[in-house]
Amino acid sequence: MIRTFPAALMILAVPAAAAAQGSLNFYNWSDYIADDTLSGFEAETGIDVNYDVFDSNEVVEARMLTGSTGYDLVVPSLEFMARQAQAGVFQPIDKSQIPNYDNLDPEILRIVSANDEGNTYGVPYMMYSVGPGYNVAMVEERLPDADMDSWSLVFDPDNAAALADCGIALLDSPSEITAAALNYLGLDPTSEDAGDLEQAMELLQGIRPHIRYFHSSQYINDLANGDICLAVGYSGDILQAKDRAAEAGQGVEIRYTIPAEGAQLGFDMMVIPADAPNPEAAHQFINYFLQPQVTAAISDAVFYANANKAATDLVSDEVRTDPGIYPPEETLAKMYSAKPHSARYDRSLTRAWTALKTGQ
């Protein structure tokens, strides 16, 4: 028995892998996966992965709404996903194909169901916040008395002016930067009021001369190398910069904390386009991803929190206990979520954002 058992397993395993058809066309955020995630999936299923990356919800949305992307699996943020789902561009997730679905945290599923009724179209990939990350030495040198735990570090024009020479970057994300500005002004970060938008844009126009660039992924390397000193970016991306800086050993120290005024908390969601060429492969990937050790390895590699309850114990202490990754209750209480924009507000926001970036 002992000798024949492995042989029997091999006979079973070969047809199973060979039966998996075709490839998976996967469109994900940049810097958002572990080194061995895709190779592990290919080895386990026999499905080849074509992997493309993006760094902007707006770019993904334009492509999704046009259709015929050829993608099987895409990862928009929840508030964008909600609008795209309404446009009918996704197919429902078939949970019967995902035995590992039960590993998901029911509380997080409940929260995201506010924008995806019945958790119909999306499966949470990772969670993130949007906030300022900075080079400790460069900022302390220029602003020894500044409150480092406040958005005023970047939104106060005097502070921004003092940091202009070492370099400030903002995400090229109208929704997220505007929400941060509204929140800093004490306004509702989800407001669609024209007067509120005007106030947010005034604040941003006030610091505009001190912004080196708007970009949603370049700041990782620039922060790590000391080429910029502050970026308003995504939590895990800033922490990847911190990690790269520490590894380089040149004494660059990067810090990310959620400011006292709070920050946006977001969820990126795996979805399957209605016209996906290989929806079975997409379901297989989601099921593979939801294995606790696979999710935990991704969180450890990219410094983002996940929604896989069964994975929590496997996430490294460094990641699990970092309040910038897994915010404690009192921080969570100050955080806000985005809501799907109306088409009308979106047009005003795009116009205002273009004017801001082009310096009008």
Contacts to ligand N2P by CB under 6 A: 29-32, 77, 128, 234, 237, 266, 268
We find the least distance from the C-beta atom of residue 117 to ligand N2P, in angstroms, to be 22
We find the least distance from the C-beta atom of residue 165 to ligand N2P, in angstroms, to be 27
DSSP one-letter code for 119: G
Smallest CA-to-CA distance from 132 within 178, 77, 171 is with 171
55 vs 196, which CB is nearer to ligand N2P? 55
Strands 168-170 and 213-214: parallel
- Measured on CA atoms in the order 322, 328, 330, 336, is the torsion positive or negative? positive
**Token pair 């500044």 in the structure block, residue:** 146
We find the least distance from the C-beta atom of residue 30 to ligand N2P, in angstroms, to be 5
We find the least distance from the C-beta atom of residue 235 to ligand N2P, in angstroms, to be 8
Structure tokens at 42: 């290919």
Question: Cα separation of 100 and 255, whole Å?
Answer: 35
- On the CB side of 329, CA atoms within 13 Å amount to 0
32 vs 90, which CB is nearer to ligand N2P? 32
30 vs 225, which CB is nearer to ligand N2P? 30
Task: Supply the DSSP string of 163-210, one letter for each residue.
Answer: HTTT-EEE-S-HHHHHHHHHHHTTS-TT---HHHHHHHHHHHHHHGGG
Phi-psi region of 318 (alpha: psi -120 to 50; beta: other; left: phi over 0): alpha
We find the least distance from the C-beta atom of residue 206 to ligand N2P, in angstroms, to be 26
134 vs 219, which CB is nearer to ligand N2P? 219
83 vs 210, which CB is nearer to ligand N2P? 83
Identify the bridge partners of residue 266 per DSSP, sorted by sequence position: 128
31 vs 156, which CB is nearer to ligand N2P? 31
We find the least distance from the C-beta atom of residue 90 to ligand N2P, in angstroms, to be 17
Q: Are 55 and 82 in contact (CB under 8 A)?
A: no
Residue with the shortest CB distance to ligand N2P = 29
We find the least distance from the C-beta atom of residue 108 to ligand N2P, in angstroms, to be 15
78 vs 154, which CB is nearer to ligand N2P? 78
